[in-house]
Structure formats: C-alpha cells, structure tokens
A and B are shown apart, each in its own frame.
Chain A
Amino acid sequence: MNANGKNLERRILVAVWRMVLKALGGFACRCLFRSLRPATNFCRPACVLFLVVLASHAAAKPNVLFIAADDLRVELGCYGGTIVKSPNIDKLAARGTMFTRAYCQQAVCNPSRASVMTGLRPSTLGIWLLRTHFRERVPDVVTLPQHFKDNGYYTQNIGKVFHNWRQDTYKGDTLSWSVPAVMHYGTHGSDTAKVEGELPPEVMKTPRTECRDVPDEAYFDGRIANLATQALRDFSKKKEPFFLAVGFWKPHLPFNPPKKYWDLYDRANIRLPANPNHPEGAPPIALHDSREALRGFKDRPGGKPTNADTLTLRHGYYAATTYMDTQIGKVLDELERLKLADNTIIVFWSDHGFHLGEQGLWAKTSNYELDARVPLIIVAPGQKAGQKSDALVELLDMYPTLNELCGLSQPEHLEGKSLVHLLEQPCGSHKEAAFTWHPRPAYPAPGEPVEAMGYAMKTGRYRYVEWRDFKTGEVRETELYDHQTDPDENRNVFSSAKKETLRELADQLAKAHPRKPVTFPKP
C-alpha cells in the first residue's frame, strides 16, 4: 500500500504536471513549478492541491471522446449486473463518475439522439418519429459537435451517432463535422458478417440472432473500433483539440456478435425474466406489440418466443454487449497508449434502454424504467475517480456539461443543465424529475395519425405517466409506479394512490408539459 501510494503519488504529479504544461504552456508555468520545487514533503500536498485547482481552471481545450451505444440498458458489471460481462465499461466507470439514475428523453433512436445532439427536448423539437430529421424542424440549431467545431475543435464522427436511416435528404448532419462521417448511415439489418473467403456457418438457429465464428471486424462495430483508433493516432500528431464521436451499433438487434462472445457465457447462468407479465392494472395503451424483436417469431405458439428462444435472445444480448464492450476497450486502450487520456474527457451513454421479456415487453418504445433509464459515465481530467451519483439526470444535460468542462459558451437554446457540479459533489441533487415521452402507436406508419402521446415523469420515488390525446391534450389514461415498493414496475397503483400525491405529480408534470395538443415548430 505504501509503495503503491508513492507510485500513485508520482503518477498523479506527472499527470498534473503534464496537464498544467499543456494548459499554460511555456515559460510562465515552468517558473511557477520551479518555485514550488524546493518544497518539503510537508507542503507537497498543498502544491498538488494548488496544481489540481489550477489545472481544472486553466486547462484550455481538453479533447472529447464521445462514445454512444445503441439499445444498451442499465445492465453492466459496474451497475451491478451479475451475469453480463463488461470489463472495459466497468474500468471506465472506475475512472470517473457513473450516473445511476440517468434518463433518455424518448426510448427510440431518432428522437433520443436528436435531443442529445441538439440539447432540445423532443417536445421542443417536435420529433417523435424515426424519420423526422431535426433540421426539418429547427434548421439552424447548433448541434453539440457543431458548437465544438465552431470553437476550434476538430470534430469527427465514426459510427452511428445521429439517427441513421430513412433520412436520405440529410444522411446524418454535415454541419456538425470537420470531415464527413463514416459508418454512420444504414440499417441494422445490413450489418451482416463479412469475411474474406467462405463464411463460417450460423449455429444459433434462432430468429433475430446469429452466431458465427468470425473476427470482430466481420461486423460494423469491429471496423468502427479500428477506424476510431486510427483517428486517435492521427489526432495525436495534431495540435488542435478533437471531439471524436464514436457510435457503436450494438447491442441493438439482430444479436449477431461473433461466436467467441457467445462462448463467454454459461447458458446455465442466463435467467428467464422474473416478471414476464404486463404490469397489473397497466392501460393497454402503455404497452406495445414488441414487433422489433418478435417479428421473427411468427411461427412460434402465440407468435412469441418460447422460453428457449427467450434464453437465446438474452444470451445474445449479453454477448452483443460484451462484443461492444470489447470494441470500447480497444479505443480506450489506444487513447491511453497515445498518452491522450490525461487530457481527454470521455463520455459514455446509450440512446435508451431495452426490454428482454420483462413486463411482457421486448425491445424499446415504452415509457417504463427499463426503456427510459440509461447508462451514463463521464470521465473528466481533474475530477475524482470511482464516483457514483444517484441524482436524477437527463441525457440532454450532456451538451451543457461538455461545454462547461471545455470552457465553451452555453448556446441560448439549450434545455439541459450542466452536470459538472455532480462531478464535484456526486451526492448533490440535480433535478426534481426526468421526463421521457412516447407516442402511440409506437411506430406510426407514414400517413398514419398519432393517437396519443405518453408523458412520463420519473421523480425520486415514482414513475408517473399521463397518456394524452394527441390532438387535444386531454388525459386518457394514467399510470403510477412506486419505485420504493415496486422497482420493477409490476403494479400500476394510480387508482389506490393518495389524492394529494396524485395532484402533486399531475401539477409537476403539467408544469413541464402543459396539457395541450402536441405541436411542432414550422420553419
């Protein structure tokens, strides 16, 4: 412990020194440090503290490594998952601050990502569908990477960051990046195994899954990791700070990680969901047909996966998570190897959660905790490691957070709130509630009218949902889940809850989202 402590001390000193040098550069700082150097052991802590403070205030332009996962729910080793293997994300969490109650703004790709990247709520953007591009609604909005680009950053996008399909007029967002994005646009179905020579056989034989003995690079995420490490090597030779957005496509369906990731799991440890039924007393409008996952199981009894299928799907999801985790490891290792880690902010997030049969649901598009809650980890140089914050936070808070960490101005349009104070004091509180919404039908077809919008509010104790008529804003159905007694949301207790509680919650929700027809900005 003693020797380790000394080593650590030396490493921290070196790291801080490097940061300060980079921050202030040149002569002034060297003089400063020389003047501190003769300090005895006794006052060294003071020097270190002083330097840490100095560094966090003066470190101009740290880099940003912005890593997104797709459909990754809060089931990871660092979040207490006992089955899933996610060593690289766990390691990342141990280096920074992990948010245990972070929520997306809509549990489907496009609206969630549009909100993250613009810093606007889907309700402000008027986006609830997969096919609406945010520039159709707010053409001039400055996105997060665009703001960084405008402030002297080199911004680059590798993989899926903006939503990626059925927006052919835009195909991402060219205004956001210094160079054209790569591997960012396509369907998940097109991510099939590509190898030289003969393709090894598929052995899983379950719809929506694929298991072949192929290398990581056979699929998108393996290639994305390689491109990202190459980009980091290029950045290490440049002077300007970078904002690198790396978007992984997994663990999104189909669950097709290479065989070696399936083999990491003992099938005997994969569990069936404990709550496979719809929540008691949930209105039908709150549910959906789980079509994204279940469309492959039409030949099964009741059109649903059998228990064997369920185990395979869950196995596949875990394996896909580990595959994605391994790719993250490659990028983070390269960052470390290039000695860029000390001056790079790392953010890891997922666009929304996922159901694997719990509550009788599969995939996303609900307003429930499993879909709304997301992993969120922030590692910032100069901040403490191994921290956990239980504060209620929203994904749209990332935009102002990164601005503050990098000393950039806060564009006026932002609706989020910086999380930097939680990096400093993780036990602090942040928001009274987190908001998520979703329309019904869950995936309206082109031309199909939207009937209702579900407004969900997560407070410290409850999840409260109002399903309102899309055209009038009139409340049609309501749900209340008490996370104190029912964290898995198995019982809608709206009808038995105290009147005052319900009134308070309804007022709180109406304050954020008045009971009005859903509208959207018309440019």
Chain B
Amino acid sequence: MKPIVTLALCLGTALSLAAAKKPNILFIYTDDQSNRTVSSYKEAFDWVKTPNIDALAASGVRFEQAYIGSWCMASRATLLTGHYQHAVESMRMEGKYPGCVYDAQKCRFWPSVFRKNGYHTAQIGKWHTGVDSGFGRDWDYQIVWNRTKHVENAPNYYYDQVTEFHGGKPQVVKGYTTDNYTDWAVDYINGEGRDKSKPWYLWLCYGAVHGPFTPADRHIGHHKDVTVPIPKDVYPPRPGKPAYIQKMEHWVPKNGEPVEKKTRKEAPVGMKDMPGRPLREWIKQYHEGVLALDEAVGRLLQTLKDSGQDEDTLIVFTSDQGFGWGQHGFKSKVAGYDATIGCPLIIRPPASRSAKTAGKVVKLPVSGADLPPTFFAQAGLELPWEMHGKDLSPVIDNRDAQPCGPAFLVHTGKFYGSDTAIIPPKDSPDLYWGPGVPWYVMLAEGNYKYIRNLVGGEMEELYDLTQDPDELENLALCSTHKETLAILRKMAVAELRRTDAPFADNMPKASTE
C-alpha cells in the first residue's frame, strides 16, 4: 500500500497541504515603529542596524509598502475583527482617554474562532480596544497591560505597568516592558501555561516605540554620534498640500536646526512637548528605543529554533503604524503619508516551507486588513465572517505571486462602525480628533497613492511613490494626472462600498473633483 499512498500524495500540493499540521503563529506587533527604523528598508538611515529583524526578512517575505493602520486603537480593532475602522461595530471611546468599550455580541474578535478550532491563543502586552480584553473568550492565556481599563496607568509605556495575569488581580510590574514582554513570550513559546498538543497563536503587542520613546537603559546614548538628515518640508509653507498641513508647526528653526515648538496645551498620552529640544535628538532617542525590539526578535527566533518549533511556526512582524518626525512638519502618526504611517511588515512562513520565498520583497502595497484572512488561510480555517482584506498566502508561499487589488486605509478619528455615518462638519474638532489630521480615505495602487481628505472643498492628494517617495508633489493638482486621479477616486469609492462604509455615498465634494 505504501508506494500507492506516496504516489497519491505526490498528485497535488493541495492534498499534502491539507494533511499538514496546523502552524503556530507568532504575531509580533510593535507600536509606532516606522519602516525608517529597520535597516532592510530603503527608507532607513544608513546608521540604522537591525540585524535580527533583517535576518527575519531574509528568511521570509518583506513588504515594502504596508498600511497596517492610522493609529493605535483603530489598527488593533482592524487586526482583531478583519474590518476597517468604519465597519467595527459598537466600538466607542468613553470616559477619560484612552477609555473605550464595545458590545461583544456586535463586535467579535476572531481569536475566539481559533480557540474553538483547536488553537491555544495568547495575548501579551499592550491592549487598547475596550475594557474587556477578552480573557477566557478570545484568549486562553493573557498577560495584559490594559490601558483602556487602567487609564491612570496609560502613560506608563516603559516601566511600572499595571498588569493582569490571566484575568487575575492587577499588579504593578517592575522592569523595562520590552524585555518583560519578551521574557513572557519566551516562556509561553517554551510551553508555559499551554496545552502542548495544540497549535498556538501568540499576539505579542509591544508598547515600544511609542511616546515617551524611552530606550532601555543599556541603549541610551547608542546613537549619540550619528548624523540625522532633516526632512525637506519640516517648515511651512508646503505647496500643494491641504490646509491642515499648512498649520502643522511642531518644529521651528533655532541655531540652524529644527527644535520643538510648544504646540499643545494638553498632549496625548506620552507625547508631551519639550519646547526647544532639537528634532535630531528626538530622532536619535526614537531609534534607540527600537534596539530592544531588535534584540527581542533575535531572542524569539532563537527560542523557536531551540524548542524545535521553528519548522512549524509562521512569524509576522509589523507595527500598528509608523511615526513622523519632521516630515511635512509632523511629530505624530495618523496622516496617510508613508512618513507618518509607513511601517515594516515581514511574514515568514513556517521554516519547513519558507526556503522557496526567502528574501522575497513585495513592492505592491498591502493593508493591515489582509493579515486576519491570511492567518485563517494559513491555519486552514474558514473565515467566520466576511473580512475586508485578502489572503496573502499565495504571496508568501510562492515566489512569483503578487498581491491582488489595491491597498486601502480609512481614518475616521475616534469613531467606529455606524457612528461614522455622518462625517463631522468642517469646523468640528471631531473631524480633526487626535493630532489634527482630518478623516481620510487612502488607496495605494501600483506606484500611486491617493488620499481623499473628508473635508468639504479640500483638495485630494495623489503621489507617485517611485518618482517622489517623500510625497512632496501633489499630482492631484496636475492636469496631466486627471485621468489617474479619476481612476483612483473611483477605486476608492468602490472599496468603500464593498466594505459597507456608511458614508461612501455622501462624502463632501473635493476641490479637485
């Protein structure tokens, strides 16, 4: 019988894939980490060195243009539901920032489906999507810094976090959080607290490198002697950009270099202004904060190898979004530019089948919403509900496959789901909630990026990222690009309708339409 079985298995890869063991999934998810901080990205400064993340990229597939989210909470909500922000039903910000709640009947998180289908699920680290962090429902195992529940502790990104272990009583934990989370993840991978017969899914949510951008003690001063290039449009005016960008003045010249300006009375958590501090110093500090993350990746990979699980574990490394330092005047994330939201995305298939795509670089853009359907496909599970992204499995499993359809991102401030039905009027603070960036729809296709700011009478934006990677020349204002603009506008509306955006058909008219 044996030779026959062998022959049968050889008949198609489909057969052998179906029979394969379900992979573990290690999802490393950092915070505010721009792709400028990872040396395998072309955006990185030449002194940036992240050997461990680069090694992961060299053994897997690296996405050059990934649009995971626009800000912390919305990005996480998308990764938990598979829906864009405008379709995450019942999620609401309430009480003191960053407090928020949701109705678990209306807003389901997919890890519960993994749990029901034989996976052991775990979450470690930062939580920012509702007081109910889902222990016992979505997670078998959880060591959580629930900022939405312990709002007073929410600024403590790096030390003294109020932490709950597996639904237990909150306790303050000492030590540098990046290292703590890594220790806990290593323990989990090594088998602590889990049923070893089950495949596992671990969502490891680092708080680094979010404000206040505190590096580990051992890394402070690591970059003190490097030369930091200053972005071209750190000061206004910024011709061809929408009105809100003209007012973006976080940096003013002093002794020939940009220093921080006092712009906010009340800054968001961890984002306190330090008037007079040079931009260069901020950037060095920000990059020093990434070094512990790179070390963490090295430790996690080694743990997988040492425990014999590397062959069966899919690894994803990304961030909730990037962060802008001086580009277009920003000291923030949210805005739909590569400088402010662009972040690394690396997917390494289980080592047993990663060789065939090792080192692949994907130039076509992809979205954060593509990750949950990819996880389901990799686990061989049916999608439990319609998700907005597309399965990237062909792209990570096949050397030649490219992603299908455009990448998409919608920013609707602090509103979610049907609460986005009415776009706030032009002068409403709700429209600009957060760092002053209005609601927008962003679509990336081929070498183009299209941004439609949802402000009546405002211009649309169009950038050719191969010619103008800094996004300085708005082609939406060029008559030669009228047709391209019309195509991308149409695509964006089609994506909004496809994903049930309640405002798809009553967006304010743009001046460039």
Hey, which bits of chain A sit against chain B, CB under 8 A?
4-5, 8-9, 12, 41, 44-45, 48-49, 74-75, 79-83, 94, 100, 268-269, 271-277, 301, 306-308, 311, 384-387, 390, 484-488
B12 at the interface (CB under 8 A from A): yes
Nearest B residue to A5 via CB reads: B8
User: Is there an interface contact between A269 and B402, defined as CB atoms closer than 8 Å?
Assistant: no
CA of A490 to CA of B283, assembled, Å: 30
User: Is there an interface contact between A48 and B402, defined as CB atoms closer than 8 Å?
Assistant: no
Residues of B close to A387: CB separation below 8 A: 10
User: Is there an interface contact between A268 and B484, defined as CB atoms closer than 8 Å?
Assistant: no
Residues of B close to A41: CB separation below 8 A: 1
Which of B361, B466, B491 meets A486, CB within 8 Å?
B361
Residues of A close to B495: CB separation below 8 A: 268
Residues of B close to A486: CB separation below 8 A: 361
Q: How far is the CB of A357 from chain B (nearest CB, A)?
A: 9
User: Is there an interface contact between B487 and A82, defined as CB atoms closer than 8 Å?
Assistant: no
Q: Are A8 and B400 also in contact (CB < 8 A) when A268-B494, A386-B13 are?
A: no
Which of A44, A94, A276, A384 meets B447, CB within 8 Å?
A276
CA of A273 to CA of B447, assembled, Å: 7
User: Is there an interface contact between B401 and A272, defined as CB atoms closer than 8 Å?
Assistant: no
User: Is there an interface contact between B364 and A271, defined as CB atoms closer than 8 Å?
Assistant: yes
Q: Among residues 465 to 510 in chain B, which have CB atoms less than 8 Å away from a CB atom of chain A?
A: 466-467, 480, 483-484, 487, 491, 494-495, 498
Closest 3 pairs between A and B when the two form their complex, measured CB to CB: A272-B446, A80-B398, A80-B401
CA of A79 to CA of B395, assembled, Å: 11
Residues of A close to B448: CB separation below 8 A: 272, 307
User: Is there an interface contact between A100 and B447, defined as CB atoms closer than 8 Å?
Assistant: no
User: Is there an interface contact between B5 and A268, defined as CB atoms closer than 8 Å?
Assistant: no
**Would you give 6 A-B contacts (Cβ < 8 Å), ordered by A?**
A8-B7, A80-B394, A94-B12, A94-B13, A268-B495, A271-B364
User: Is there an interface contact between A79 and B398, defined as CB atoms closer than 8 Å?
Assistant: yes
Nearest B residue to A390 via CB reads: B356
B278 at the interface (CB under 8 A from A): no
Q: How far is the CB of A361 from chain B (nearest CB, A)?
A: 14
Q: How far is the CB of B66 from chain A (nearest CB, A)?
A: 13
User: Is there an interface contact between A5 and B5, defined as CB atoms closer than 8 Å?
Assistant: yes
Which of B4, B359, B400, B491 meets A80, CB within 8 Å?
B400
Residues of A close to B7: CB separation below 8 A: 8, 12, 384
Q: Are A311 and B404 also in contact (CB < 8 A) when A272-B446, A275-B447, A385-B12 are?
A: no
CA of A306 to CA of B487, assembled, Å: 11
Residues of A close to B1: CB separation below 8 A: 5, 9, 41, 44-45
| A-B contacts at CB below 8 angstroms, number | 118
Nearest B residue to A307 via CB reads: B484
CA of A31 to CA of B400, assembled, Å: 51
Nearest B residue to A484 via CB reads: B359
Residues of A close to B401: CB separation below 8 A: 80-82
B422 at the interface (CB under 8 A from A): no
Q: How far is the CB of B455 from chain A (nearest CB, A)?
A: 26
Residues of A close to B400: CB separation below 8 A: 74-75, 79-81, 100
User: Is there an interface contact between A485 and B359, defined as CB atoms closer than 8 Å?
Assistant: yes
Q: How far is the CB of A403 from chain B (nearest CB, A)?
A: 26
Nearest A residue to B64 via CB reads: A274
CA of A486 to CA of B397, assembled, Å: 18
Q: How far is the CB of A469 from chain B (nearest CB, A)?
A: 33
User: Is there an interface contact between A271 and B405, defined as CB atoms closer than 8 Å?
Assistant: yes
Residues of B close to A4: CB separation below 8 A: 8
| Additional A-B contact list (9), CB under 8 Å, known A8-B7, A45-B3, A484-B359 | A79-B398, A80-B400, A80-B401, A275-B447, A276-B446, A277-B447, A307-B487, A384-B7, A487-B360
Residues of B close to A79: CB separation below 8 A: 398, 400
Nearest B residue to A94 via CB reads: B12
User: Is there an interface contact between A48 and B405, defined as CB atoms closer than 8 Å?
Assistant: no
Q: How far is the CB of A471 from chain B (nearest CB, A)?
A: 37
Hey, which bits of chain B sit against chain A, CB under 8 A?
1-5, 7-8, 10-14, 356, 359-361, 363-364, 394-395, 397-406, 445-448, 466-467, 480, 483-484, 487, 491, 494-495, 498
Which of A48, A80, A275, A276 meets B399, CB within 8 Å?
A80
Residues of B close to A487: CB separation below 8 A: 360-361, 399
User: Is there an interface contact between B447 and A268, defined as CB atoms closer than 8 Å?
Assistant: no
Nearest B residue to A384 via CB reads: B10
User: Is there an interface contact between A271 and B404, defined as CB atoms closer than 8 Å?
Assistant: yes
CA of A487 to CA of B487, assembled, Å: 29
CA of A44 to CA of B3, assembled, Å: 10
Residues of A close to B4: CB separation below 8 A: 5, 8-9, 12, 45, 48
Residues of B close to A276: CB separation below 8 A: 446-447, 466
CA of A385 to CA of B6, assembled, Å: 11
User: Is there an interface contact between A274 and B12, defined as CB atoms closer than 8 Å?
Assistant: no
Residues of B close to A307: CB separation below 8 A: 446, 448, 483-484, 487
Nearest B residue to A277 via CB reads: B466
Q: Are A82 and B484 also in contact (CB < 8 A) when A271-B364, A384-B10 are?
A: no
User: Is there an interface contact between A306 and B483, defined as CB atoms closer than 8 Å?
Assistant: yes
Q: Are A273 and B446 also in contact (CB < 8 A) when A5-B4, A94-B12 are?
A: yes
Residues of A close to B487: CB separation below 8 A: 307-308, 311
Residues of B close to A273: CB separation below 8 A: 446-447
User: Is there an interface contact between B406 and A271, defined as CB atoms closer than 8 Å?
Assistant: yes
Q: Are A385 and B402 also in contact (CB < 8 A) when A272-B447, A308-B483, A486-B361 are?
A: no
User: Is there an interface contact between B483 and A82, defined as CB atoms closer than 8 Å?
Assistant: no
Residues of B close to A83: CB separation below 8 A: 402, 404
Which of B8, B13, B404, B447 meets A82, CB within 8 Å?
B404
Q: How far is the CB of A369 from chain B (nearest CB, A)?
A: 11
User: Is there an interface contact between B3 and A274, defined as CB atoms closer than 8 Å?
Assistant: no
Residues of A close to B12: CB separation below 8 A: 94, 385-386
CA of A53 to CA of B145, assembled, Å: 64
Nearest A residue to B355 via CB reads: A390
CA of A439 to CA of B38, assembled, Å: 42
Residues of A close to B8: CB separation below 8 A: 4-5, 8
CA of A221 to CA of B7, assembled, Å: 35
Q: How far is the CB of A209 from chain B (nearest CB, A)?
A: 17
CA of A488 to CA of B8, assembled, Å: 36
Nearest B residue to A91 via CB reads: B12
User: Is there an interface contact between A82 and B361, defined as CB atoms closer than 8 Å?
Assistant: no
CA of A487 to CA of B494, assembled, Å: 32
Which of B14, B359, B363, B404 meets A269, CB within 8 Å?
B404
Q: How far is the CB of B134 from chain A (nearest CB, A)?
A: 33
CA of A12 to CA of B6, assembled, Å: 12
Q: How far is the CB of B95 from chain A (nearest CB, A)?
A: 40
Nearest B residue to A46 via CB reads: B3
Residues of B close to A9: CB separation below 8 A: 1, 4
Residues of A close to B397: CB separation below 8 A: 80
CA of A110 to CA of B263, assembled, Å: 69
User: Is there an interface contact between A48 and B3, defined as CB atoms closer than 8 Å?
Assistant: yes
| Most chain B CB neighbours (cut-off 10 Å) among A8, A48, A82 | A82
CA of A385 to CA of B12, assembled, Å: 7
Residues of B close to A49: CB separation below 8 A: 3
Q: Are A274 and B404 also in contact (CB < 8 A) when A94-B12, A268-B491, A387-B10 are?
A: no
CA of A27 to CA of B10, assembled, Å: 33
CA of A5 to CA of B7, assembled, Å: 10
User: Is there an interface contact between A277 and B3, defined as CB atoms closer than 8 Å?
Assistant: no
